[in-house]
Amino acid sequence: MSLAQAGALLTAPGQKFEMDELTIRGVPTRVWKHAPANLALLIQASRAHGGRIFTIHEDERVSFEANFRATAHLAATLREMGVRKGDRVALAMRNLPEWPVIFFAAVSIGAILVPLNAWWTGGELDYALRDSGTRVLFLDGERYDRLQSRLADLPDLDRVVVSRCQGELPEGTGRLEDIVGKPGDWASLPDIAFPADPDLAPEDDATIFYTSGTTGHPKGALGTHRNLATNILSSGYCGARPYLRRGEMPPEPTPKTGLLVIPLFHVTACSASLMGAVAAGHTTIFMRKWDPVAAMAIIERERVNITGGVPTIAWQLLEHPERANYDLSSLEAISYGGAPAAPELVKRIFTEFGALPGSGWGMTETMATVTQHMGEDYLNRPTSAGPPVPVAELKIMDVDGATELPVGEVGELWAKGPMIVKGYWNKPEATADCFRDGWVRTGDLARLDEEGFLFIVDRAKDMIIRGGENIYSSEVEDVLYAHPAVTDAALIGIPHKQLGEEPAAVVHLAPGMAASEAELQAWVRERLAGFKVPVAIRFVTATLPRNANGKILKTELRGLFVDEAAA
């Protein structure tokens, strides 16, 4: 069945994925007709999942009912603190059962939840708190220790609430456990009326997610209730489409168990994963820190159906020498984003795990999913990020920002739909530059094929221009990934006196495998034009550094090529 035929059946009037057209900020926009109107309704509906386990963290298991009761009590306390619609409530915490409780308590009363990067330094956290004008801050013990000396100087901050802190807290700093108890206590909390804001509208502000920029200060992307609710239906649609494509009827959704190994302060985890889990009754397992052996033990013990995050995680599961010691047969899907994946990885997930691979494209400014690629479509087009979901639109624009390019040509990717955020918090100039009449300029170089499948070619800023010849880093990285010894690779540009810049690569090899610089250069030369061959290759013992979004921090790798740059 063609994409168009599958889409027509799934979105037909009366169907779960029926669409409507609304005017959003003056722009006609397709929307999912049956998406929750706001996140307060979503968390209230989750109570229907009752005693099913919602989150697992080490030996802590929290049911949907227990999570709902804790959320209701915390929302009521926030109201008592004086938090009102539009106030910013920030959250700096690793993935813990408390995270979704704080998130839904804040957004349900109309506050704007600001998820902060748990990896940030005190200075970076300080910047985001000042920029957002946060009034109430929730921290875990680690983040509190990192930020404690700065809290008194934050001008807008009224309240600080700390979770899982063993030491003494100063007067005026609260403990989350004094409000709702520990996760094991939540099921026995009194059943109180849920204090949701009755006037919450789909376009009301809900979140400020800070972009994962690798230079300068991050920008706060202002998201709405509709932005996050859109992902629920988008993910459901993309899960149903492969069945029709292969000639089968989509089954009724059933709750799954997922191992979430990416942080909730990133839109992929919060918007694309957590929102759908709350709606569908999925169980979400948190790991304190990614470790492939610990992950395999969890997959075996909990019969995990879904995992992923970034391609490196899938590679480490596939390549680990202890893999044969664990039963991973429960895995049904391994999905990831944030970085290109080698076609070989896509095939091996299917052939060795018996799981369907999944990928997609989105960004902080799109609140995650715009395209999604699953199952046979992904196996057949492993270098694509998939087609857009029906409520999204894509176009490829010339560098002038005024001319749309035809099918097959490479230009800047622009995206439109109900998942696009309002703009950047307190940054009108940056908003005007990036957001145009409902479209977001993504900064990605891409092309679309005849069926609408998206192919990301490169970040515009990551394209290397060698003597006037364009080198798309993803093209060379894909070739390096195809080498049997390579599990992680990045291409960067290093300065050159005559040519402007030249390509160089950083590579991480699979355990027990070997390859030399000359061997990999010859491998690339056999498959690509000579000007694309890396002039130097550095080997590192660890996987490449990434930000929370899964994007390789190429600026950190350039220092490995001092000698070549000096030449």
Domains for the chain: give ranges and CATH numbers. 3-35+251-422+440-459 (3.40.50.12780), 39-222 (3.40.50.980), 464-566 (3.30.300.30)
What single string gives the DSSP state of each residue in 16-56? Answer: TT-EEEEEETTEEEEEETTS-SSHHHHHHHGGGGTTSEEEE
Per-residue pLDDT, 214: 44
Asked if residues 495 and 467 have their Cβ atoms less than 8 Å apart, the reply is no
Tokens describing residue 259:
């191992």
Strand partners, 415: 394, 440
Write the CB contacts of 65 (distance below 8 Å, at least 6 apart in sequence): 47, 49, 50, 51, 187
Tokens describing residue 233:
């239906």
d(CA 556, CA 542): 14
Which positions of the chain have pLDDT values less than 70? 212-216, 338-340, 468, 497-498, 548-549, 563-567
Per-residue pLDDT, 216: 58
Asked if residues 485 and 515 have their Cβ atoms less than 8 Å apart, the reply is yes
d(CA 113, CA 38): 14
d(CA 550, CA 563): 28
What single string gives the DSSP state of each residue in 163-186? Answer: ES--S---TTEEEHHHHH--GGGG
User: Cα 567 to chain center, whole Å?
Assistant: 39
Helices and strands (DSSP H and E) totals, the chain: 19, 28
DSSP state at residue 559: G
Tokens describing residue 214:
């690798």
64-102: b or e for each residue (b if 16 or more CB lie within 10 Å)?
bbbbbbbbbbbbbbbbebebeeebbbbbbbbbbbbbbbb
